[in-house]
Amino acid sequence: MRIFEIAAFAVRGLTANKMRSGLTTLGILIGVASVILLIAVGNGASSAVQQSIAGLGTNILTISPQRAQPGTTAKPLTTADAAALVGQDSPAVKYASPVVSAQATAGYGDTTHDIGQFIGSDPRYFDTTNSAVAQGNLFSDNDVQQARKVVVIGATVAAQLFPGLDPVGKSVLVNNIPFTVVGVLAAKGSSGLQDADDLAVAPLTTTQNALTGYGGLTQIVVQARSADALPDAQAQVTTILNGRHKTTGTADYRILSQDQLLTARTATTETFTVLLASVAAISLLVGGIGITNIMLVTVTERIREIGIRKAVGAPRSSILGQFLIEATLLSLFGGALGVAAGVVGSRFTIAGIQPVLVPSSVLLAFAVSALIGLFFGSYPASRAAKLRPIEALRHE
Amino acid sequence: MSPVIEVRDLRKTYGSGDTAVHALRGLDLTVQKGEYIAIMGASGSGKSTLLNILGCLDVPSGGEYLLDGIDTGEFDEEQLSLLRNRKIGFVFQSFNLVPRTTALANVELPLVYAGVRRAQRRERALAALDLVGLRDRTHHRPNELSGGQQQRVAIARALVTSPAIVLADEPTGNLDTDSSREVLGILDRLNATGRTVVLITHEDEVAAHAMRTVRVVDGRVAGVLV
Ligand SMILES: Nc1ncnc2c1ncn2[C@@H]1O[C@H](COP(=O)(O)OP(=O)(O)OP(=O)(O)O)[C@@H](O)[C@H]1O
Ligand SMILES: [Mg+2]
């Protein structure tokens, strides 16, 4: 009795039950593909966030207001604070840009668009955020002084409001106030959870005039002279602000370096990845149970056949071999299709996220489903092969 | 002549405790080589239980079963499957063909496990199908065959390995008179070539083909008619 004959039985067993074989393959396919895809999406999201933070540059400090401690009044961050940060007392600081942000709806002709971020700042803001201009120009310090109603828009806003048109020189209505578009920023791409190109930047003065009023700043973005000067810059900024805000105890502002920002954001994306990984683990489990189920049904359905084969003299080893080969073929075939589906699927953008394949997840998904298929294909078969022929024949 | 089958004080109990069924209660039977025996008895008397044990498809709860003088209790799993494959041809009352598989492949099955090569296997399976008059049905699947035809495929499968013993459990139970006659003719011819035949039947005309009839009553042999 050669292995070839047993393999032929296995192949005939599979082709004689096309529906069952097809469903088993499908079950394994879905299990493997969903695990690969989910992990790729999680990985894609976190690497996008990391890239967008890395794009900020390594010599940036972000100062944002903190809520007041009970019993004290928090001073808002002001333009004067920002101005005070550059000077003799802070040799390590190169610029400090005051930043306000607003909710704004822009309209051009019949089209309107809710802008993701409407920012008011000075021209240094473009430098600190690594924003390059693609069309037209950035606004100037003079525009800020004169509070001119000019705006630089991101690629998404340009595409939404001016499809097929050159936006430069056009007039948009921002919350019904006309602004002239002077430039369009180069696209940065989606950073996973938010679109970095869905923004508009106008002079600080104009924004305060027209949109936010003269309250506190949302942020002060400080650029140090170099990455090495960052700790010095942080110390100097802290001294100056503590002096101006007469800080005792807990400060009413918070300074974050790009490093800390990265750590904070990485922590969030890690949570996200862990979440997706647990979803993937669950889907692997569910897929595994599906495979187990279908394999068990398959073997149970065929215990009579096992009885017949034993009655005409099949040794236990050949029955085991036949079912093992059947399970192997199904698992490998379904697993390979699942890997193919997962790899192809990860080429598409899913919910705004470009998935990035994790090779080990491919291996894991394939191995787990193949092992489950093998085990639950052969274990019940081996139990059935141990039955006396008459017991197997009587099985219903 | 030495007996090919010798059964002493054979017992078989299904289940245990209050629900235990004593299907065989100390049955003795000796079958000589080349004999043709009919087993008769009321429904539930233990005939199928006996035949299954004789075919090494089941094991007794007590007593001895000597096959060619050797106690079958001594055989291991591998030797038992070899016995079922080479020495015994079993015809089930309910056919027990592999579903979705052609008549030819069903008849070839024991030969595959016997390690017979492909070409020779085909030749012998076709010859066996020829013998049962199904040469023109070789590529039909069980669900495309009538009951009588399925029974004949099952007989072809039982005799394809040229076993020394053919055991048949009510082989004509589901068949009309013509089909019965054909099946009995085949068994007669097998016996004429020296094979030992044991069959179970409820019909006197069928039993008339045998050399002797064994009556089973309540799991014991009640009497032997010559
Ligand atoms: N697997 C089993 N489990 C429990 N009881 C069984 C089992 N097989 C048979 N029996 C019982 O054993 C007794 C003998 O059964 P057996 O099948 O040998 O009868 P039989 O003589 O072949 O009857 P029939 O002529 O109806 O085929 C019956 O009472 C039956 O209910
Ligand atoms: Mg019976």
pLDDT tens for the 396 residues of chain A, in order: 578 888 888 888 888 778 878 888 888 888 888 888 888 887 787 777 766 666 666 678 888 888 766 666 777 888 888 888 888 888 888 888 899 988 888 888 888 889 888 999 988 888 877 788 888 888 888 988 888 999 999 988 898 888 888 888 889 999 889 999 999 988 876 554 567 788 899 998 888 888 888 888 888 888 888 777 888 888 888 888 888 888 777 778 888 877 776 676 667 767 777 777 787 777 777 777 776 777 777 777 788 889 999 999 999 988 888 888 888 888 888 889 988 998 898 888 777 677 877 888 888 888 887 788 788 777 878 888 888 999 998 887
CB contact under 8 A, B58 and A388: yes
Q: Considering only the beta carbons, identify the residue of B82, B96, B100 that sits closest to A308.
A: B96
Shortest Cα distance, chain A CAs vs residue B96, angstroms: 6
Q: How many CB atoms are located within 10 Å of the residue A339 CB?
A: 19
B99: which chain A residues are within 8 Å (Cβ-Cβ)?
A: 305
Q: Which helix (H) or strand (E) covers residue B218, if one does?
A: none
Pairing of strands B36-41, A150-153: unpaired
- Mutate-to-test residue for ligand 1 from B12, B43, B49, B53, highest number of ligand atoms within 8 A of CB: B49
Using CB atoms within 10 A of its CB, is residue B127 exposed (0-12), middle (13-18) or buried (19+)? middle
- Spell out the domain ranges in chain B: 34-52+77-225
Nearest alpha-carbon partner for B9 in B32, B37, B30: B30
Residue of B nearest to A2 (CA): B115
Q: What is this structure's pTM?
A: 0.69
State whether CATH 3.40.50.300 applies to domain B34-52+77-225.
yes
How does DSSP assign A270-304, residue by residue?
HHHHHHHHHHHHHHHHHHHHHHHHHHHHHHHHTHH
The residue to mutate among B10, B12, B14, B215, having the most atoms of ligand 1 within 8 angstroms of its beta carbon, is B14
A308 alpha carbon – ligand 1 mean position (Å) = 19
Query: Which of A2, A9, A314 comes nearest B81 by C-beta?
Result: A314
As a whole number of angstroms, the longest Cα–Cα distance in chain A is 100
Q: For ligand 1, is residue B177 a contact (CB within 6 Å)?
A: no
Cα distance between residue B184 and residue B207, in whole Å: 10
Q: Round to whole Å and give the CA distance between B193 and B179.
A: 22
User: Within an 8 Å CB–CB cutoff, is residue A11 touching chain B?
Assistant: no
Regarding the beta carbon of B21 and ligand 1, being less than 6 Å apart is answered yes
pLDDT per position as a tens digit, B84-109: 999 999 999 888 999 889 999 999 99
Q: What are phi and psi of A94, to 5 degrees?
A: -90, -60
| Residuewise pLDDT in 10s, chain B (226 residues) | 679 999 999 999 998 888 899 999 999 999 999 999 999 999 999 999 999 999 999 999 999 999 998 999 999 999 999 999 999 999 998 889 998 899 999 999 999 999 999 999 999 999 999 988 899 999 999 999 988 899 999 999 999 999 999 999 999 887 788 888 888 998 999 999 999 999 999 999 999 999 999 999 999 998 665 5
Instruction: Provide, as residue numbers in chain A, all residues whose Cβ is less than 8 Å from the Cβ of B90.
Output: 311-312
- Minimum distance, in Å, between the CA of residue A314 and any CA atom of chain B: 6
pLDDT tens profile A158-217? 988 888 888 888 899 998 899 999 999 888 765 545 677 888 999 988 888 888 888 888
Select from A2, A16, A312 the Cβ nearest to the Cβ of B100: A16
CB pairs under 8 A between A and B: 73
A29: exposed, middle or buried (Cβ count in 10 Å: 0-12, 13-18, 19+): buried
